[in-house]
């Protein structure tokens, strides 16, 4: 049974999106409380450091960062996107939260490469998989998973990385960043049609993009079948040296933003199957990032199932 390191930071709880916003601090509080209640696994919590600009710039240009941070208000909230889609918001505490969330993946990358840990979970917000190279989108500012992947490639002799995304929304940002890069496989299962509207099976990049759009109302059994046949089979064939997970828990049947019918236990099944591939091809190295998931009970239950899978 593998030990798990968790990166998080209090700054990620300070990020405010206003009353009634689904991406709220209580999401992370629920997850951290649930992790602390796991008593049959070896889990170490550690503070996430701030990401350095030079590392973020492996994905996002400095001009993009400057534009975001210059918009941060001294009081209140500022919507980054134009109306009517101004739901990606900046508050006075946003900068540190954004940098800590991204920094978690860089530290996780160091840990898995120096052998300290094989399984790491980044319990951070804001999330990242909708953030494109130079575009804020869907509650996301920096693509935490993409920065970690580029950091691994730039700092170590890592030639093939797989990013598996089981958030119920397609990770348009991750797809855009790696669309023409055969060294990174991106595989996503997601409800369609649903925000952000991307993720058709015809979107294949240079043969490195594998999308599995599923219909509203898809059952747990059908979801897991498709996940195996359209996601895991391709990851297995790719033989990645590191696996990164964009772990959204909003395909859960309780989630208010989508209509897929996963149970909390299904996150063990998916995670365990991913870990088995990692054990065969990636020296067991897995970094998982919190993405979506907006029902607190579902988050609390699903994260325990995810950790049980990670520890295998």
Candidate list 130, 170, 192, 281, residue with the active-site label: 130
Cβ neighbours around 224 below 10 Å, total: 17
Residue 117 DSSP SS3: coil
Nearest to 32 by CA among 306, 300, 311: 300
Catalytic residue flag (residue 130): yes
**Structure tokens of 265?**
């236990």
Contact (Cβ atoms closer than 8 angstroms) between residue 160 and residue 238: yes
Query: DSSP code of 230?
Result: I
Which residues are CB-neighbours of 255 under 8 A, at least 6 positions away?
168, 249, 293, 294, 295, 298
Do β-strands 89-90 and 78-79 pair in parallel, antiparallel, or remain unpaired?
antiparallel
DSSP H helical ranges for the chain: 11-14, 25-36, 53-56, 62-70, 94-114, 144-155, 172-178, 220-226, 233-238, 266-281, 296-310
Which residues are tagged catalytic?
Answer: 130
């Amino acid at each position: 049974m593998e030990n798990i390191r968790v990166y998080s930071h209090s700054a990620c709880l300070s990020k405010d999106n206003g009353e009634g916003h689904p991406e709220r601090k209580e999401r992370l509080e629920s997850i951290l409380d649930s992790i602390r209640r796991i008593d049959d696994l070896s889990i170490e919590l550690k503070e996430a450091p701030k990401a350095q600009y030079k590392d973020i710039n492996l994905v996002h240009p400095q001009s993009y960062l400057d534009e975001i941070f210059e918009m941060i208000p001294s009081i209140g909230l500022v919507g980054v996107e134009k109306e009517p889609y101004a739901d990606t918001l900046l508050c006075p505490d946003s900068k540190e939260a954004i940098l800590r969330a991204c920094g978690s993946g860089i530290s996780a990358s160091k840990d898995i490469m120096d052998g300290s840990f094989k399984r790491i979970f980044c319990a951070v917000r804001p999330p990242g998989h909708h953030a494109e190279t130079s575009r804020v989108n869907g509650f996301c500012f920096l693509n935490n998973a993409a920065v970690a992947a580029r950091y691994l490639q730039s700092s170590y002799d890592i030639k093939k990385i797989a990013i598996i995304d089981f958030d119920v929304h397609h990770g348009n940002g991750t797809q855009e960043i790696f669309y023409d890069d055969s060294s990174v496989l991106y595989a996503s299962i997601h409800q369609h049609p649903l925000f952000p509207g991307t993720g058709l099976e015809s979107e294949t990049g240079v043969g490195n993009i594998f999308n599995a759009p599923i219909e509203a109302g898809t059952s747990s059994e059908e979801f897991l079948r498709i996940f195996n046949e359209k996601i895991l089979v391709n990851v297995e064939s790719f033989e990645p040296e590191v696996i990164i997970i964009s772990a959204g828990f909003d395909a859960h049947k309780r989630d208010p933003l989508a209509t897929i019918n996963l149970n909390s236990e299904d996150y063990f099944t998916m995670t365990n199957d991913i870990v088995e591939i990692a054990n065969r091809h990636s020296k067991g190295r897995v970094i998982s990032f919190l993405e979506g998931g907006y029902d607190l009970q579902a988050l609390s239950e699903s994260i325990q199932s995810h950790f049980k899978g990670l520890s295998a």
